[in-house]
């Protein structure tokens, strides 16, 4: 129907699937990534990662791959196109000011679950950022998209980085190596910081965070602690990805519901 966006290695188009009229996104990408040979037919890495991320029970927080086609020099992904959805960075710009903590919590709970699900299914997304999260502005439903920078998750670690520089974990610059899950936690911390502070953390912010004495006016202590837990310079001191969804900040709404329930009794 029309072009939605364009990057260095491909373009995204809005389209309609002829067989049932479903609204979809068609992503055409140049074949630059390694070919995965773990399937019956060779697949571009992005296709294989998207298939893995969608395996098992459907997770609404991850964009669904509906079809794909591989040509000699490019491949095409047909993805669900939920309406109304927009990139999270566009949503934030329309707010005019930084969003409220309660809204950020709703978004982050879904982004964290999407990241955890990817890793559980053997996929390192490696580019979790505002532009790769789609949000329904009416319901605040969130979907993780664009696996073009991804890799299979491994326990050995990685010596090259693909993704967005501002979200790159510091251990890569310090040692030339990083591990998937701690790097994912770092990117989630950066994501939340940007949503609530309107910019990326500077060196002073990171020093204070690393010293566990960073706070921001208007934020709850639980929220500040969440950011501090994610953005520790030493990856071994960061909160584990699987424990992130159990952080006290995510428990606030649950406790409020319990209190309201006990009052009704």
Do residue 155 and residue 91 come from a single domain?
Answer: yes
Known binder of ligand: residue 166? Answer: no
Which residue range forms the structural domain that includes residue 177? 86-254
Known binder of ligand: residue 198? Answer: no
- In 198-247, which ranges are continuous DSSP H helix? 203-210, 221-230, 241-244
Do residue 153 and residue 189 come from a single domain?
Answer: yes
Which among 178, 172, 111, 174 is positioned nearest to 145, based on CA atoms? Answer: 111
Highest mean pLDDT among 61-75, 113-127, 242-256: 113-127
Residue 248 annotated among the catalytic residues of the structure: no
Instruction: State the residue for tokens 């974990």.
Output: 169
Instruction: State the residue for tokens 């699900």.
Output: 117
Q: What is the pLDDT of residues 1-56, one digit of tens each?
A: 554 555 545 666 666 665 766 666 767 777 655 566 555 567 889 999 999 999 99
86 in helix, strand or coil? strand
Rounded distance between C-alpha atoms, residue 202 and residue 117, angstroms:
30
Give the relative orientation of helices 221-230 and 248-264 as an angle to the nearest 10 degrees: 150
Please give the structure tokens belonging to residue 102. 């309660």
Known binder of ligand: residue 56? Answer: no
Known binder of ligand: residue 111? Answer: no
Do residue 125 and residue 182 come from a single domain?
Answer: yes
Task: Specify which residues 179 forms β-bridges with.
Answer: none
Q: What is the CATH number of the domain that holds 67?
A: 3.30.200.20
Q: What is the pLDDT of residues 178-226, one digit of tens each?
A: 999 999 999 999 999 999 999 999 999 999 999 999 999 999 999 999 9
Do residue 138 and residue 229 come from a single domain?
Answer: yes
Point out the domain boundary residue: 65, 80, 95.
Answer: 80
pTM above threshold 0.75: yes
Do residue 157 and residue 142 come from a single domain?
Answer: yes
Do residue 65 and residue 132 come from a single domain?
Answer: no
At 264 the pLDDT is: 46
Point out the domain boundary residue: 24, 45, 80.
Answer: 80
Please give the structure tokens belonging to residue 154. 């491994």
Do residue 116 and residue 235 come from a single domain?
Answer: yes
Known binder of ligand: residue 55? Answer: no
Do residue 158 and residue 239 come from a single domain?
Answer: yes
Point out the domain boundary residue: 57, 80, 103.
Answer: 80
Known binder of ligand: residue 220? Answer: no
Q: What is the CATH number of the domain that holds 183?
A: 1.10.510.10
Burial profile 21-53: b = 16 or more Cβ within 10 angstroms, e = fewer: eeebbbbbbebebeebeeeeeebbbbbbbbbbb
Do residue 153 and residue 169 come from a single domain?
Answer: yes
- Asked if residue 260 is part of any domain, the answer here is no
Among 127, 146, 205, 248, the one annotated catalytic: 127
Is residue 254 over pLDDT 50? yes
Give the relative orientation of helices 180-197 and 221-230 as an angle to the nearest 10 degrees: 140
Do residue 59 and residue 127 come from a single domain?
Answer: no
Write phi, then psi, for 218 (nearest 5 degrees): 95, -15
User: Quick one: average pLDDT of 110-118?
Assistant: 98
Do residue 131 and residue 208 come from a single domain?
Answer: yes
């Amino acid at each position: 129907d029309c072009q939605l966006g364009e990057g260095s290695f491909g373009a995204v188009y809005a389209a309609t699937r002829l067989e049932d009229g479903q609204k979809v996104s068609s992503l055409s990408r140049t074949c630059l990534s390694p070919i995965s040979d773990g399937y019956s037919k060779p697949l571009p890495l992005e296709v294989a990662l998207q298939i893995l991320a969608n395996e098992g029970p459907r997770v609404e927080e991850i964009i669904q791959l509906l079809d794909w086609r591989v040509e000699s020099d490019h491949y095409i992904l047909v993805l669900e196109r939920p309406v109304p959805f927009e990139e999270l960075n566009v949503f934030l710009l329309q707010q005019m000011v930084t969003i409220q903590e309660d809204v950020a919590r709703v978004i982050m709970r879904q982004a964290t679950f999407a990241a955890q699900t990817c890793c559980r299914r053997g996929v390192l997304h490696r580019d979790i950022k505002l532009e790769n999260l789609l949000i329904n502005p009416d319901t605040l439903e969130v979907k993780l998209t664009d696996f073009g920078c991804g890799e299979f998750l491994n326990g050995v670690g990685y010596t090259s980085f693909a993704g967005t520089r501002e979200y790159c974990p510091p251990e890569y610059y310090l040692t030339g190596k990083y591990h998937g899950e701690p790097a994912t936690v770092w990117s989630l911390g950066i994501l939340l910081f940007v949503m609530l502070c309107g910019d990326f953390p500077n060196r002073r912010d990171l020093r204070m965070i690393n010293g566990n004495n960073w706070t921001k006016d208007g934020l709850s202590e639980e929220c500040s602690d969440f950011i501090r837990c994610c953005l520790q310079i030493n990856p071994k001191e960061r909160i584990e990805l699987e424990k992130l969804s159990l952080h006290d900040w995510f428990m606030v709404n649950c406790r409020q519901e319990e209190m309201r329930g006990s009052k009704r009794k």
